[in-house]
A and B are shown apart, each in its own frame.
Chain A
Amino acid sequence: MEIFDQKEARSRKITKYILIGLSVLFIAVMLILPLASVIVNSLREGVDYYFKALSTDYVTSALVVTFIATVIAVAVNTVFGLVASWVITKFDFKGKNVLSTLIDIPFSISPVIAGLAFIMTFGRLGWASEIIDSINSALGTDIQIVFAIPGVVLATIFVTFPFVSREIVPVLNTVGKDEEEAASILGAGGFKIFRKITFPHIKWALVYGIILCTARALGEFGAVHALSKTRGGTFTLPLEIDALYMSGSADSITAAFAVSSLLVLIAVAVLIVRNVFEFRTKSKNRKGK
């Protein structure tokens, strides 16, 4: 900025340092301190206790439930994300804006409402409970949705529903649909176009969407809280953390932080991947120009 005179340059510099200082302070207090705090709190009773806290039956069971819910939610939302972003970016049709707004609903409503929604659908008062009951009596099965693993899975799918499509749609919008049209004129079918033309454009966005979806699925709390009541049975990791923390003793609070530290590690990994991913796309765009 050579166009500024000395006085102006100095005052600009002062502003710069004040603003940088404020930003660093804000991030240190609001974001870094909590991260550090989790680690410090989790190690309060020593390393042995840390590992013991992670290997209780409750935690193992919660790990399994979380794993099941996450895998199913990510699988469903990946399929949905690919299909939905294809229909939204490759075609013009009436109601397209309505459709994309509807897909974003889970992103903007309270997770507790998501839990409530499934209770009102499949619970005692829900209209679908009779359907489930009649299926059970016809087949002699005992399928439970609410307060059972399927409910946890449904709630997890709900809250992470838009995650994959949200990452892919903007990428496909920038790429446009010329290449697909060209391939189609040359006679390629839908699946071939997707595999050979579209997929290479979105693979990183897809990877990132899946990772983000995984992180959110692992950590979902509010929706699952409403639908899961059995510790050691249907509890996920965040619910186990809640149970440990709410039991109030100093030991169990430390254990709560120990379990939390697992999720913190995953969160940090997600951030690193995100930044690598963004750096890749940004530097690629620059090269493209």
Chain B
Amino acid sequence: MYVELKHINKNYGNFQASKDVSFGIEQGKLVALLGPSGSGKTTILRMIAGLEHPNSGEILIDGKVVNDIPATKRGIGFVFQSYALFRYMTVFDNVAFGLEIQKVPKDEIKKRVLELIELVGLKGMEKRYPNQLSGGQRQRVAFARALAPNPSILLLDEPFAAIDAKVRQELRSWLKNMIEKLGVTSIFVTHDQDEAIEVADEIIITNKGRVEQKGTPIEVYQNPKTAFTASFFGQPSELVDYKQFNTFKDLKNVDKVFVRPEFVKVTKKSEQQFYKTSAVEGVIEQIFFRGNTLELVVRVGDNVFTARRGLDEELVEIGEKVDIFLYRIFVTSGDEAHLVQNQSIREESLVI
């Protein structure tokens, strides 16, 4: 493990921002710290950077405990949420700053800075000041500035939060490619799960100061291990009374039940129904057009949840009675979550 946190605790007065946080990150990986606001993800990032001190526990970088090493000596690059560009310096001077501090010879600085500026696609803008750049360009400068002194770890705090939606999409793939190309171990903080799934090699999910789960985006998405992850990832709806669905009547040890839209099959009465016996009747309550799909809010008894239908399928209407079939559900008991398949899928396929 290149970066490792061992049993980290951090308090602000009575507020515990980190509770027994432990995880490791391999060299060269791009890792997302994902969680709702107040979940302690930024605190973890700032502790790795050395901007905060843990109350207990150890932080290791490249096998060495760095708790007592100041931020400036940890060999990290940090991209601030607001970028924190030096407003009274040009793009060139911003990127050159860290190298000047290290007393790198002038002509080397110039070479490296121009290289970096070209790398981030801002060639020709060396003489501009931060207020003459767009949000996306500023982020690129912040990125180049953090990379200039050749850090062994790059830390990014909500790198896309200050950018408007259109540019954000483009910047995400740009940043992913760039970090892959450079091979620098990177950790970024985000509250946006799409962003984490799309950009990261690995996701660490945080909640209330704890690490809930760590894994590749597919692992975490497919197999939520904790109640929180199950209720957070995807677009889950909670079923208030799961007993109203025939096939799930006999579950034991259940605290909560969640379904994701892709777990739900909505069939019009006129359409052919595969799992007739185990489907229940529901009513369409709302319809949202989401571009490539229709998002439906469906009611079955007391349960209200989200489902989807493709645009190539026949349209449904608000108030229409439809058949609802659940392929699978997430069941939580205590802190754990597991997936429960609909039994009838196997049974009925046997019949056919």
Partner-B contacts on A (CB < 8 A): 176, 178-179, 181-188, 192, 196-197, 200-201, 287-288
B101 touches A192 (CB 8 A): yes
- Complex formed: what's the CA distance from A188 to B50 in Å? 15
Of A184, A185, A197, A287, the contact of B86 (CB 8 Å cutoff) = A197
- Complex formed: what's the CA distance from A196 to B77 in Å? 20
In the complex, residue of chain B having the shortest beta-carbon distance to the beta carbon of A189: B101
- Complex formed: what's the CA distance from A115 to B72 in Å? 48
A185 touches B101 (CB 8 A): no
A187 touches B85 (CB 8 A): no
Q: Are A178 and B82 also in contact (CB < 8 A) when A185-B71, A185-B76 are?
A: yes
In the complex, residue of chain B having the shortest beta-carbon distance to the beta carbon of A199: B88
Interface size on B, residues (CB 8 A): 24
A185 touches B72 (CB 8 A): yes
A178 touches B80 (CB 8 A): yes
Q: Are A179 and B87 also in contact (CB < 8 A) when A186-B101, A187-B101, A187-B102 are?
A: yes
A188 touches B97 (CB 8 A): yes
Contacts of A196 in B (CB 8 A): 86, 89, 97
Contacts of B215 in A (CB 8 A): none
Q: Are A288 and B84 also in contact (CB < 8 A) when A185-B71, A185-B76 are?
A: no
A186 touches B84 (CB 8 A): no
Q: Is B211 an interface residue (CB 8 A)?
A: no
Q: How far is the CB of A171 from chain B (nearest CB, A)?
A: 12
Q: How far is the CB of B230 from chain A (nearest CB, A)?
A: 36
Q: Is B131 an interface residue (CB 8 A)?
A: yes
Contacts of A188 in B (CB 8 A): 97, 101
A-B contact pairs, 10 of them (CB 8 A): A179-B84, A181-B51, A184-B71, A185-B77, A186-B101, A186-B145, A187-B72, A187-B102, A196-B97, A288-B131
Q: How far is the CB of A288 from chain B (nearest CB, A)?
A: 6
Contacts of B204 in A (CB 8 A): none
12 more CB-based (< 8 A) A-B contacts, given A183-B97, A192-B101, A196-B86 = A178-B80, A181-B51, A182-B80, A182-B84, A184-B71, A185-B71, A185-B76, A186-B72, A186-B145, A187-B149, A197-B88, A201-B87
Partner-A contacts on B (CB < 8 A): 49-51, 71-72, 76-78, 80, 82-89, 97-98, 101-102, 131, 145, 149
Q: Are A179 and B85 also in contact (CB < 8 A) when A184-B72, A187-B72, A187-B102 are?
A: yes
- Complex formed: what's the CA distance from A124 to B80 in Å? 59
- Complex formed: what's the CA distance from A287 to B87 in Å? 13
Contacts of B50 in A (CB 8 A): 185
In the complex, residue of chain A having the shortest beta-carbon distance to the beta carbon of B102: A187
Q: Are A185 and B102 also in contact (CB < 8 A) when A201-B87, A201-B88 are?
A: no
Contacts of B84 in A (CB 8 A): 178-179, 181-182
Contacts of A183 in B (CB 8 A): 86, 97
Q: How far is the CB of A178 from chain B (nearest CB, A)?
A: 3
Q: How far is the CB of B151 from chain A (nearest CB, A)?
A: 9
- Complex formed: what's the CA distance from A165 to B191 in Å? 39
In the complex, residue of chain A having the shortest beta-carbon distance to the beta carbon of B89: A196
Contacts of B76 in A (CB 8 A): 185
Contacts of A201 in B (CB 8 A): 87-88
Contacts of B85 in A (CB 8 A): 179, 182
Q: List 10 A-B pairs, minimum CB-CB distance, nearest first.
A: A178-B84, A200-B88, A186-B98, A182-B84, A187-B101, A187-B72, A179-B84, A185-B78, A188-B101, A185-B71
Q: Which of B76, B84, B98 counts the most A-chain CB atoms under 10 A from its CB?
A: B84
B97 touches A186 (CB 8 A): yes
In the complex, residue of chain A having the shortest beta-carbon distance to the beta carbon of B74: A185
A186 touches B80 (CB 8 A): no
Q: How far is the CB of B51 from chain A (nearest CB, A)?
A: 7
Q: How far is the CB of A193 from chain B (nearest CB, A)?
A: 10
B149 touches A186 (CB 8 A): yes
Contacts of A184 in B (CB 8 A): 71-72
In the complex, residue of chain A having the shortest beta-carbon distance to the beta carbon of B51: A181
Contacts of A186 in B (CB 8 A): 72, 97-98, 101, 145, 149
B101 touches A287 (CB 8 A): no
- Complex formed: what's the CA distance from A28 to B85 in Å? 47
A187 touches B87 (CB 8 A): no
- Complex formed: what's the CA distance from A287 to B97 in Å? 26
Q: Which of A186, A197, A200, A288 counts the most B-chain CB atoms under 10 A from its CB?
A: A186
In the complex, residue of chain B having the shortest beta-carbon distance to the beta carbon of A180: B84
- Complex formed: what's the CA distance from A188 to B77 in Å? 14
